[in-house]
Amino acid sequence: MDEEDLQELTSSKRLGLTEEFDLPKDEHGRFQSDFGNDTLSNLASGLMGLVAPAHESMGAKLLQKMGWRQGQGIGPRIAQMDIDVTFAPADTPIQHFNAKADSFGLGYDLVENVPQVAEMRRYQQQKRDQHMGKAITSKRAGFGVGVYEDENDDVMPYDDGISTRDLPRDYHHVIYDEDHETLLLHRQSARPKSTYSRPSCVTRCSDGHLPMNGFHISTAPYEHGKWYLPPDVPDIFDEFRTVLFATTKAQQPRNLTMDARGAVLGEQSLGERSVFDFMSTDSKKKLKQAAMQIEIDSKAPESNPLDKSKLRTILVSKEVAELALQGFIPFGDNLEKQRRYRKYLQICSQQNDNETSESQTIFPVPAGLSYDSGMKEMDEFIKSAKIFRPISGMMSSRFTTASNDLSNFGQSLSGEPSGKLEQVVFEGGLKSGKDWKKERDAQAQTQQEPSHAVCEQTEAATMGMFGSLTRTAKAFYPNRLVCKRFNVPNPHPDHLQEQNVNSRTQAGSSSILSDNVMGALVNQTVPNNNVQKDAAKEDPMMAAIIARPSMQVTESPTADQETQEDSQNIERPSLDIFKSIFENSDDESVDTNENEDSSPHLSKQCLATVEESDDFIGPSPPQHDAMTTTAESNLTDSSNKFAVHVKSEEFVVPPFQSRLASFDYHERSDRERTRSKHTKRKRDDDRKPSREIKHSKKKKEHKKRRHRHDSSRTDLLDDLSMWVEKKTT
Amino acid sequence: MAYPTECIQTLKGHKGPVNVIRYNVHGQYCVSGGRDRSVRLWNPKTGNHLYSYEGHGREVLGVSVSRDNAKLASCSADKAVILWDVSTGQLQRKFTDHWERVNAVDFNDDNSLLISGSFDSTLRIWDLRSSNFHAIQVIEDAKDSIMSLQVRGTEIICGCNDGKLRTYDLRAGQLFEDQLGAPVTSTRMSNDTNCILVNTLNSTIRLMDKANGQQLAEFKGHKHETYKVDSALSFDDAQCISGSEDGQIYIWNVADGLLLKTLASHRGVISSVDAHPTDLGLVSGGDDGLVRVWQ
């Protein structure tokens, strides 16, 4: 027997909590244990109550950490009415509930009403105690009482003193029962058989088994209930299904439409329905048109072989035609063709807006041409009309016609040999210096008036005649928010502000030569005043056409703005930016480029980049307001006189003059000096010379750069002209 | 005809030339900005140096005090305009939109806008009520560096190196440009807002009529050909006071244009002067780093 067996033997041990986790000592006294109010537990708790345990229970430790003390209750502190001190709640005793195992009434106390019960319980307790007492004492006395002790001779050494009778019946002391010669492992065998005895002659069930315990075969018959017979199955009955009669009726419903089915069923019809009811009128119209178009198209090829004597083409739009009429008229080598082209353009320009664009007009096949070549010719006309437009002055001034093409220009509308128009055969190249000088002088004269104004101003200023002479008034458009902050109503409520306030404004824009801008420049048509007038004189038909100054097809986002400004400035002579840029450095006298007219901010952009790219720290030329009443641009003559302040003006304008180190060094340096005056305060005297030197270098580089750029533009036009050439031949 | 004659205080503190000196609206304090990148607040009467605002990266070229004395604006060669809180000395806003050094700055009467003029020839208007870090409007009429600026009521005057004095009238939505012939370095409106006092680089000070651009008076005698020099009108518009490059303060009588007095005040250029707004008084700042208060 080892420890485990012993423990089992001494089964008086009961399961409980260790001291650590158990209730505190005082609780034991109150705790009515299930195990009975036996003396030992009472004794133990009583004893324990006297001696404080070495270990506190875990629960107590936890509570103490939270501020509890032995004897206090758990819960929120109680505040007395009159005193400011709060008290811990009183400790509540543990309620121990005894499960009701009897069926007496509530509150019925057996001991009270039946006094004998108490006696009996006492007696039973005694008996139990005897045995338990013996067992425990023997246990306590130690296992294996020696034979030397005379306490109880009857006690067998391996007997714990408890008779087998009192032990649970399942407990076996021996495994092998010698008397019965059976293993006592099965409990069942240990258990006596049930006392229930059957009668010897018992009726068995129908299958031969004995009935279960507690049952016997009844003698009375069993009423099963009414039994119904299954139906009669005919002889021909077969488990497999076959269709004997093929009905056509089953097929009919497949061919029925919804409406027909409805009719068969006897429903009311929904009426006529059409998918077109669900479309909007616009889409219906479009469908109709498309259908018509398809019909026309399908018919057209059919008609073509029928009618090869007529040419069917589309007309170009009115605006394009008008522009084309102003522009270069090609086909100079074929006068007839040219005539037909012009006629075509005239017809196009005279078309009404009422006619739809899809309408095709019929032209007679030209004499001497087949139908195919006639159609080809019409195509050429359409394409030429789209290409040849009068180009803006600055572009036109770049080109002059070759001498052998002078005859062509007899046909052109402008009629001037120096040509403001684009040429097809690119032989003319750049203008010769003389030609161009002449032209420029002519232009310069027209521009003298605005320049005078500025000179006057400065003259007046020097003379001290301040007042109306020196004063210019312009419109100023304060921001909406600015007006608000100043508590002033917006003086120009209709003026739309540009949105790019934060970004570098156009004056400082580096994208001047971007695609948009260049596109605008190229496509712009700002015919010279002279040209227009002459043209009107020469050709009465032209006079009938009202030339719009700024027709172009640019994709520039600021196109609208440009057109606005252009239209406003149409009276002014055109600004030749490129002319000014590529102006010969020999020519100092004329400075015609202060006019910010036809493309004011564009020109400023151009100049601005010129400024910018020069790396010169200077104010970028600002955007002039289109509403300038006086053009205060030109300071040519005054440049020499008023060295100091004017240099800043000149800077804005054609960079060339003032920038050349060789010529205008002294003038430049004056301006430099004014600028660097403020830097002088830093007393960095060494800055000045280095800056100036840097500039002269930069200028030359810039000059080169610009030339290169120009050549790229001419390449583009080259391509165009080449393309046109191919087509005509 | 009283004019300041005596230097009652010398305010020392700047380590380098003083570029600008300005009184506040009532004349109790003056603010100076100098080459040492600091903006200093002084009490001119007692001579106390009250605060030094550090934050600029380069020399301070212009200062202005708001009309409620709560804010201070300064502009600098580092292209920034900074708005300071006067009492705490905290930097409240820094506007860096300008492309070049900012020469002048001013508040509007409501203290809701700052207007600054710069070497990049733009005038930028900054909104102080919103937290917008960009200018709400950029005025690009000038063709050269804007040297000086003043905002009064609904008008902005600025002087530019292209020789023009520009007056922006916000109410009328008009800009008046007056050609003066020489770069304009300083512009001040008279206290009755009818006239503008301009300093031009040909050693001339002119008093221009704001309405029609005519010259009302001309003052000469000082030296002003190279550096930026301020001029101011006394509180009663009776005297014109100007600094000079020869270190003397010149005081003219406005009525007849005669030179009243020259006060030897600084060694070097007197870059900035300001007249007391309500009383007889004058404050000047010069290249020697001193600020002198005159009475």
Tens digit of pLDDT for each residue in B84-111? 999 899 999 999 999 999 999 999 999 9
What value does the CA radius of gyration of chain A take, rounded to a whole number of Å?
Answer: 61
Number of continuous H segments (helices) and E segments (strands) in chain A = 29, 7
Q: Which residues, other chains included, contact B111 with Cβ-Cβ below 8 Å and sequence gap of 6+?
A: B66, B67, B68, B70, B71, B128
Mutate to test the interface with A, among B161, B218, B220, B272 (most CBs of A within 10 A): B161
pLDDT digits (tens, 9 = 90+) for A436-459: 677 777 776 666 655 566 677 777
> Counting beta carbons within 10 angstroms of the beta carbon of residue A133, is it exposed (0 to 12), middle (13 to 18) or buried (19 or more)?
middle
**Is pLDDT of B191 > 60?**
yes
Judged by a CB distance cut-off of 8 A, whether residue B289 touches chain A is: no
pLDDT digits (tens, 9 = 90+) for A471-506: 888 888 888 888 888 888 888 887 776 655 444 444
Does residue A356 fall inside a structural domain? yes
What residue has token string 């900012």? B102
Residues B213, A682: C-beta atoms closer than 8 Å? no
> Counting beta carbons within 10 angstroms of the beta carbon of residue A155, is it exposed (0 to 12), middle (13 to 18) or buried (19 or more)?
middle
Does residue A582 fall inside a structural domain? no
Contact A497, A519 (CB under 8 A): no
| Higher-confidence position of B30 and A592 | B30
Using CA atoms, how far residue A103 sits from A78, A99, A112, B241, in Å, is 42, 11, 16, 121
Domains and CATH numbers, chain B: 7-294 (2.130.10.10)
Compute the nearest-CA separation of A481 from chain B (Å): 7
Pick from B99, B137, B161: which is nearest to A478 by CB?
A: B137
Residues B201, A617: C-beta atoms closer than 8 Å? no
**Is pLDDT of A8 > 80?**
no
Mutate to test the interface with B, among A454, A471, A620 (most CBs of B within 10 A): A471
The pLDDT-based confidence of A606 (bands split at 50, 70, 90) is very low
What secondary structure, in 3-state letters, does A554-597 show? CCCCCHHHHHHHHHHCCCCCCCCHHHHHCCCCCCCCCCCCCCCC
Any idea what the Cα angle at residue A227 is, between residues A221 and A232, rounded to 5°?
150
Total domains in chain A come to 1
Residues B140, A648: C-beta atoms closer than 8 Å? no
Residues A485, B127: C-beta atoms closer than 8 Å? yes
> Which residues does chain A have within 8 Å of residue B132's beta carbon, measured at their own beta carbons?
none
| Higher-confidence position of A178 and B139 | B139
Residue A195 CB coordination number (10 Å): 5
Does residue A358 fall inside a structural domain? yes
**Is pLDDT of A26 > 60?**
no
Does residue A370 fall inside a structural domain? yes
CA distance B287 to A647: 29
> In the prediction, which pLDDT does A395 show?
66
Instruction: Look up residue A54 and give its DSSP letter.
Output: S
Of A98-112, A443-457, A664-678, the one with minimum mean pLDDT is A664-678
Judged by a CB distance cut-off of 8 A, whether residue B208 touches chain A is: yes
Does residue A38 fall inside a structural domain? no
The pLDDT-based confidence of A527 (bands split at 50, 70, 90) is very low
> In the prediction, which pLDDT does A264 show?
85
Phi/psi class of residue A584: alpha, beta or left (left: φ > 0; alpha: ψ in -120 to 50)? beta
Percent of chain A exceeding pLDDT 90 equals 1
Using CA atoms, how far residue A632 sits from A81, A144, A637, B56, B199, in Å, is 96, 135, 13, 38, 23
Compute the nearest-CA separation of A491 from chain B (Å): 5
Any idea what the Cα angle at residue B124 is, between residues B122 and B130, rounded to 5°?
165
3-state DSSP percent of chain B in helix, strand and coil, to 5: 0, 55, 45
> Which residues does chain A have within 8 Å of residue B208's beta carbon, measured at their own beta carbons?
466
| Range picked from A96-110, A341-355, A556-570, A713-727 for highest mean pLDDT | A96-110
> Which residues does chain A have within 8 Å of residue B138's beta carbon, measured at their own beta carbons?
501, 505
The pLDDT-based confidence of B198 (bands split at 50, 70, 90) is very high
> In the prediction, which pLDDT does A302 show?
53
| Higher-confidence position of B139 and A353 | B139
Does residue A205 fall inside a structural domain? no
Tell me the pLDDT of chain A averaged across its residues. 64
* A-proximal residues of B, 17-36, CB under 8 Å: 17, 19, 35
Judged by a CB distance cut-off of 8 A, whether residue B229 touches chain A is: no
Residues B214, A477: C-beta atoms closer than 8 Å? no
> In the prediction, which pLDDT does B92 show?
92
Sign for the pseudo-dihedral over CA of B146, B152, B156, B157: negative
Does residue A488 fall inside a structural domain? no
Compute the nearest-CA separation of A612 from chain B (Å): 12
> In the prediction, which pLDDT does A276 show?
84
> In the prediction, which pLDDT does A228 show?
87
| Higher-confidence position of B31 and A274 | B31
Compute the nearest-CA separation of A681 from chain B (Å): 8
The pLDDT-based confidence of B274 (bands split at 50, 70, 90) is very high
Does residue A353 fall inside a structural domain? yes
Mutate to test the interface with A, among B19, B138, B147, B176 (most CBs of A within 10 A): B138
| Higher-confidence position of A425 and B210 | B210
Tell me the pLDDT of chain B averaged across its residues. 91
> How confident is the model over A620-649, as a mean pLDDT?
44
> In the sheet that B155-160 helps form, which strands lie side by side, from edge to edge?
A471-475, B174-179, B164-169, B155-160, B146-152
pLDDT digits (tens, 9 = 90+) for A215-242: 888 888 777 788 888 888 888 877 777 7
Judged by a CB distance cut-off of 8 A, whether residue B145 touches chain A is: yes
CA distance B142 to B157: 12
CA distance A136 to A160: 9
In A, minimum Cα distance to B142 occurs at A622
pTM score, two decimals? 0.41
Compute the nearest-CA separation of B52 from chain A (Å): 22
Host domain of residue A330: 307-391
Percent of chain A exceeding pLDDT 70 equals 41
